Amino acid sequence: MDGSDATASVPLFKKTSSIFVIFAISCLKSVCFLRPSVSMRSVHGPVFNHDDDANGYDADVRNEKDPIRAGYHDVLAWVISEARIDTSSRVLELGSGTGNLSCLLHGCGELVSVDLSERMEAIARSKLGHIPNRRFIKTDILEVFDYESAPFDSVISTYAIHHLTDNEKCLLFAKVFANLAPGGRAVFGDLMLRNQGEKASKIQEYLTKGDAKTAQAIKEEFFWSIDTAVRCLIELGFQVETKRFSDLSWGVVARK
Ligand SMILES: C[S@@+](CC[C@H](N)C(=O)[O-])C[C@H]1O[C@@H](n2cnc3c(N)ncnc32)[C@H](O)[C@@H]1O
């Protein structure tokens, strides 16, 4: 050795291919070992966790003069009737909150309820003694299928899915489709608008009426765009029906 850099004598193509092999191995490692741990939870879950709203929530939803709450009780009753749940049904409820929806269930084979909020769940638990075969999972709506094995006969949800972005909604629908039994139903009641055009005009309409709170909710939360959601559901293979309950509340039945 004459003290010069030994690597300098290695031909350039050999150096390049060694670097490529090292790069390829590290990429493979990321794909094989890191990807499964990439989180699928919703981006805004922590913001829409209702822990801070739990105490006033049930009084709040009784005020149907509020455009956000108009139709609330009819929507819940409709979701339960459209879900066709019987005493053997395995049911998944997404964003169970204070349990107002499952309160309307007369019985089922098993109810799995999911929410991020422990305080909402504490209120739900106190109201749901009549459903002994209920289990609660504190997790993100998008992650529940990592913990629960299919199939479910019904998936039900009210006023929770509008906390997911449109892309997240479509991802959720795919997971729901994969985890529903053939003939199973997913029934949703939520804050929805026909399309982005109606969203823009409703924001303007509520601002003109002096209702900045409702306009802001439409602007900042992810009220469903029915056209986008229905397109996604149909592409997945669902048969879909919609029903309007108030200015901002709609129901969607998706049959597998
Ligand atoms: C407006 S409340 C609706 C509660 C109930 N379903 C009802 O109809 O009254 C929305 C619920 O969804 C929960 N939530 C919001 N985003 C969530 C997410 N990404 N994963 C799980 N729960 C979520 C909130 O904590 C809250 O309890």
Other Cβ atoms closer than 10 A to 11? 8
Q: What separation in angstroms does the CA of 41 have from each of 8, 26, 56, 233?
A: 49, 26, 27, 20
Beta-sheet strands, E only, within 19-176: 90-94, 110-115, 134-138, 152-158
pLDDT digits (tens, 9 = 90+) for 197-256: 999 999 999 999 999 999 999 999 999 999 999 999 999 999 999 999 999 999 999 999
Nearest CA to ligand 1 atom 8: 158
Query: Which CATH entry fits the domain spanning 9-31+43-196+226-255: 3.40.190.170, 3.40.50.150, 3.40.30.10, 1.10.1370.30?
Result: 3.40.50.150
Atom 19, ligand 1: residue with shortest CA distance: 45
CB 156 within 8 A of CB 91: yes
pLDDT tens profile 50-87: 999 999 999 999 999 999 999 999 999 999 999 999 99
pLDDT band at 94 (very low <50, low <70, confident <90, very high): very high
* Ligand 1 atom, smallest distance to 49 CA: 25
Q: Enumerate the β-bridge partners of residue 251.
A: 189, 243
The domain ranges of the chain are 9-31+43-196+226-255
pTM of the predicted model as reported, rounded to 2 decimal places:
0.86
